[in-house]
Chains A and B, each alone.
Chain A
Amino acid sequence: MSQTPKTLNESPSQTAGPYVHIGCTPNFGGIDGVYVEDPGSRLINEETRGERITIKGCVYDGTGAPLTDALIEIWQADAAGLYSSPEESRGQVDPNFSGWGRSPGDMETGEFSFESVRPGAVPYPDGRMQAPHITFWIVARGINIGLHTRMYFDDEEAANAADPILASIAHRQRVDTMIAKCDSEGAYRFDIHLQGEHETIFFDM
Chain B
Amino acid sequence: MSTETRPQPGYIPRDRAWQPPALAPAYKTSITRSPQQALLSFPTTLSEESGPVFGHSILGSQDSNLLQNFAADGASAIGPRILVYGQVRDQSGQGVPDALIEVWQANAGGRYRHQKETYIAPLDPNFGGCGRCFTDDRGYYEFRSVHPGAYPWPNSENSWRPAHIHFSVFGPAFAQRLITQMYFEGDPLIWECPIVTAIPSRQGIESLIARLDLDATLPMDSIAYRFDITLRGRQQTYFENRTEGL
Q: Report whether A100 and B52 are in contact in the complex, using a CB–CB cutoff of 8 Å.
A: yes
With A7-B12, A195-B35 already in contact, the answer to whether A144 and B20 are too (CB < 8 A) is yes
Chain A interface extent, by class: 35 or more
Partner of B31, one of A19, A62, A126, A148: A62
Contact with B along A1-36 (1 / 0, CB 8 A): 110110111111111111111111010011101111
Complex contacts, B207 vs chain A, CB 8 Å: 9, 11-12
Docked CA distance A4–B13 (Å): 14
Docked CA distance A11–B44 (Å): 19
Partner of B245, one of A126, A145, A165: A126
Q: Chain B nearest CB: distance from A71 CB in Å?
A: 9
Interface of B, secondary structure class, is: loop
| Chain B residues close to A by CB (< 8 Å) | 1, 3-4, 6-7, 10-16, 18-22, 24, 27, 29-37, 39-54, 58, 60, 62-63, 69-70, 89-93, 102-104, 112-117, 128-132, 166, 168, 172-175, 177-181, 195-196, 198-199, 203-205, 207-208, 229-233, 235-240, 244-246
What are the nearest 6 A-B pairs in CB distance? A23-B104, A142-B29, A100-B52, A85-B50, A142-B33, A204-B39
Q: Give 28 CB contacts A-B under 8 Å.
A: A10-B230, A10-B231, A12-B205, A12-B207, A14-B180, A15-B27, A18-B116, A22-B130, A61-B32, A62-B33, A83-B46, A85-B51, A85-B172, A87-B172, A88-B46, A122-B46, A125-B45, A125-B46, A137-B177, A141-B29, A142-B29, A142-B32, A142-B33, A144-B27, A168-B42, A202-B37, A203-B39, A204-B16
